Structure 1
């Protein structure tokens, strides 16, 4: 039985990563006093646009909208050629967008305090036979580092990211990060994606490294930012989506870890629904969350997926467990 694991933001929460709901508060806690030009420009934009100048992280979280709302406002203005003020013209907003990417990358990187849970999860998966399929909506590098850390002296690549739109059995670990990753950089000229062994997204939009394909020295982050106006126009990232679709099409069981299947994530819903319809072999879904989210998540998943699919809930949260391969949780929603 083939299992595909889908990781949402809730999976990284126990390791310290922020959620959308508290991202601005965490960003101000980590970067409120940061003196770098890009970060300072973001706090100035938020202060000017919303007319509020918070003095601490709690005030920032209470007085500013969530990070996805902020990015959506900027994206909408850019896509419609609208100035948000006499100061925040279209050209300024392009720089604000880069600054937001920097803020997101830096906040995630500085917030993560451990990787014990993901390492435990990957160690257990590595014991199993056959290829392993992971689909992640997270930018962080927790899974990447956990996988590479399992191999002391690897011969060749240990992760297939799906850049060539295929799934593999060698490497066994197929990790499809469909919203991009903090350790990827994009050459805008040849569309080559380079992978690094640490987060570097907040250091890009400048000369960082030489592209091995075309020798260009300008790099951009590979991140589909949290916005209602998501744009998927990076060809090799589209290949990652194709590979994720192929993996999901083979799934008899999908385990959703820390993922709410939010209404704004309709591209993800379409990806999953289209994939599972190809072979129509999906039989079980496991939702991994906390007890307080059980009713809301259960209703949401039941609305999205066919009545022929068993939906179970694991309310223990993500602790690195992998036993769903052999047994469903006792709490059967449908």
Structure 2
């Protein structure tokens, strides 16, 4: 049976990543702690523009605490060329600055375990276990082949697969043909390791490197195991590039009303994801609660699942209250899933979902323990 995993922000939460509603809070905290680093000017520009937006409350309401709303507002400001008394040249840079703010916030929020014992640094928790599960399911008769549709920008799963000698198949136009050591990983909103080739204009993903444990243990002066952030450029170029100004603008598609225009850049990724959903017999949703505002995904799911395949399992894992999230998914799913008892909700975080799925497919769960 063909299996599709859909990962939302709740999956990244397990590794330290912020959610939509508290992303700006996390970014502000990083800025105030002096950890914005190379992205300091971008944080300053974004947070200053956010303060200017407070003036809109007199005549309208804008949720300036939600990264999705903020991205949408800055896109509109760039389009019309105005936001309060900011210079137009500054306004036009806001979408780019917000991408860098997202990149740096994820860099600082997501933590890698450094214990000084292993040869290489493991992936952020619990992505090692998830990558192991994916690799096991590739050969399982009730699950293979396996596809991951990921709404997140981070590199947690990409790195976990790299550690196991697998490469993500991103579905990008011009990417190499899928190999026996690849797993379909469609990051439909972009990724921190995707950049535009200045010569061809194509999106070029950069492979990740295995990070040597001893280098970071010594650099950080650790005496006890700890979890620490690691810069994107070190994951791409290696730790010897530490501190260098190597930050091209990442391909990050804003989760906003303007998706249609942006998705032209990632058409091949969305089409690959749609083909996977069309053939899916198992769909496992983890950490995505289907917010009422996401009409884009509702349309995408509905159109993609018009096919001859039958969905045997549609399982939703989310720590949100059951009545809220189940009602939203029930309004999306058709009678062939709901009425036939193929929809299941489990109030679990990412690590709990991994353990449940491992148990269901008959794998030992020692490596999938929660924390």
TM-score normalised by L of structure 1: 0.80
Counterpart in the other structure of 2:331: 303
Structure 1 residues without counterparts, runs of 5 or longer: 53-62, 210-218, 328-334
Counterpart in the other structure of 1:215: none
Secondary structure of the 2:126 match is helix
Q: Structure 1 residues 282 and 28, CA, compared in 2 at 3 Å: closer, same or farther?
A: same
Q: CA-atom RMSD, angstroms?
A: 2.8
After alignment, is 273-282 or 293-302 more displaced? 273-282
From 10, 13, 37, give the equivalent of 2:41. Answer: 37
Aligned residue runs from structure 1 range 7-156, under 5 A: 7-32=7-32, 33=34, 34=36, 36-50=40-54, 64-79=64-79, 81-89=80-88, 91-114=89-112, 115-128=124-137, 129=139, 130-151=144-165
Q: Structure 1 residues 11 and 138, CA, compared in 2 at 3 Å: closer, same or farther?
A: same
Counterpart in the other structure of 1:193: 203
1:323 aligns with 2:352: no
- Which string of whole-angstrom CA distances, capped at 9 and with x for unpartnered residues, describes residues 153-178 of structure 1? x6xxx221101399946344100000
Deviation at 1:228, TM superposition (A): 2.8
Secondary structure of the 1:261 match is coil
Q: Structure 1 residues 94 and 145, CA, compared in 2 at 3 Å: closer, same or farther?
A: same
Deviation at 1:224, TM superposition (A): 0.7
Q: Structure 1 residues 188 and 249, CA, compared in 2 at 3 Å: closer, same or farther?
A: farther
* Distance across 2 between alignment mates of 1:83 and 1:278: 45
- Which string of whole-angstrom CA distances, capped at 9 and with x for unpartnered residues, describes residues 276-298 of structure 1? 112242232100011x4211111
| Contact persistence 1:141–1:183 (CA under 8 A) | yes
Counterpart in the other structure of 2:170: 161
Secondary structure of the 2:65 match is coil
Counterpart in the other structure of 2:344: 312
- Which string of whole-angstrom CA distances, capped at 9 and with x for unpartnered residues, describes residues 40-84 of structure 1? 2222222233269xxxxxxxxxx94322221111112233x2412
* Distance across 1 between alignment mates of 2:53 and 2:265: 35
* Distance across 1 between alignment mates of 2:69 and 2:264: 26
Q: Structure 1 residues 246 and 138, CA, compared in 2 at 3 Å: closer, same or farther?
A: same
* Distance across 2 between alignment mates of 1:279 and 1:46: 48
* Distance across 2 between alignment mates of 1:231 and 1:105: 22
Deviation at 1:6, TM superposition (A): 0.3
Q: Structure 1 residues 231 and 190, CA, compared in 2 at 3 Å: closer, same or farther?
A: farther
| Contact persistence 1:163–1:236 (CA under 8 A) | no
* Distance across 2 between alignment mates of 1:163 and 1:82: 32
After alignment, is 169-178 or 115-124 more displaced? 169-178
| Contact persistence 1:8–1:138 (CA under 8 A) | yes
Q: Structure 1 residues 299 and 246, CA, compared in 2 at 3 Å: closer, same or farther?
A: same
Number of aligned residues? 296
* Distance across 2 between alignment mates of 1:76 and 1:175: 31
Secondary structure of the 2:22 match is helix
Q: Structure 1 residues 86 and 28, CA, compared in 2 at 3 Å: closer, same or farther?
A: closer
* Distance across 1 between alignment mates of 2:106 and 2:134: 25
| Contact persistence 1:4–1:253 (CA under 8 A) | yes
| Contact persistence 1:137–1:179 (CA under 8 A) | yes
Secondary structure of the 1:313 match is strand
